[in-house]
Chains A and B, each alone.
Chain A
């Protein structure tokens, strides 16, 4: 009799835990961030589970498979936890965490490359460019075709375009989200994507790959 009660109780606990887990899994990223902000640090593991692979992939693409990706990844999640209170619930969480990842990746590149300082107020000839900052159906079709060949040439693309290609083609962010991650205007995102595509096409042409 006693054993039966114990079994029922443990079964109930399992059911409750499972239904709780299901509820937790349904939570939006922003809701999880809010729970962490309120002091429920345990929920932070959900953020890590959801973003670990995505950010690792982004770093590998952007940093062209460097060895120190794992260290950077750890720093990103530590910074995410330390600065979680700077996240506002009105924002979207994914561009916010990718912004941290972007900053970390840029810091790493700066450490190793002696890039000349550029003050890019008038960056990339925006004065006379008429940029279409919307993703249309033609663009989506082109996205599929280009994505097929992107892996082969991504390493050869300059880092400024490599990042925007990774965010757009692999992470599938919208122009607005990329604008929030890179802190540039959506029209400049459009310009960079167009130029990145052109660079990719040139590299594919040189290699004789038909797309």
Chain B
């Protein structure tokens, strides 16, 4: 009866098992890094887009503040929050986190700590990116003119053109915007 060593040696000699070339693993690593970067960049784009939506609705927040408190007010506030995008943001971070966990610098740290660090780094990056580089939300507005068809649809969904835009300061006292009225700060669209 052949020993384990003999069996494997035989398979190697017969060419039944062959080692994968180094390039396979190098490409695999490069591909993994690329996927992680795409995931985090997408997460940053989404977070930036959410900030942009909030920015466009800045006057709604003011309207919420000046109008009397009621159920409609809460409903209007909830409507502004793009829940689906925030969910997508979290999913992208979790996917990036799961992939990054394969690298030794990541798995040697505590999982919760790593998750918090990634999350905080993204938020910090987002804030500094907005205040130092992209104050006018050019990155968030990428795709609105149809450069990427899917993104244009997202823009149309969250920032439709057929909404009536008006300044909250012109609202009569106690009034609150209806479904068709979006109160925004003047932006060059």
Contact = CB atoms under 8 A, between A and B. Distances in A.
A48 interface: yes
Contacts of A45: 5, 9
Interface string A68-110: 0010011001100111111000000000000000000000000
Interface in A43-57: 44-45, 48-49, 52
Interface residues of B, number: 27
Nearest to A180: B104
Interface class of chain B by DSSP: helix
Interface string B174-189: 0000000000000000
B8 A77 contact: yes
A83 B17 CA distance: 11
A81 B25 contact: no
B4 A77 contact: yes
Nearest to A183: B107
17 contacts: A37-B19, A45-B9, A49-B5, A52-B4, A73-B4, A74-B7, A81-B19, A84-B19, A123-B111, A126-B110, A126-B112, A176-B108, A183-B102, A185-B108, A186-B108, A188-B110, A188-B111
Interface of B: 4-5, 7-9, 11-12, 17-22, 24-25, 94, 97, 101-102, 104, 107-112, 115
Q: Which 7 A-B pairs have the closest CB atoms?
A: A86-B25, A85-B22, A183-B107, A48-B5, A185-B110, A121-B111, A41-B12
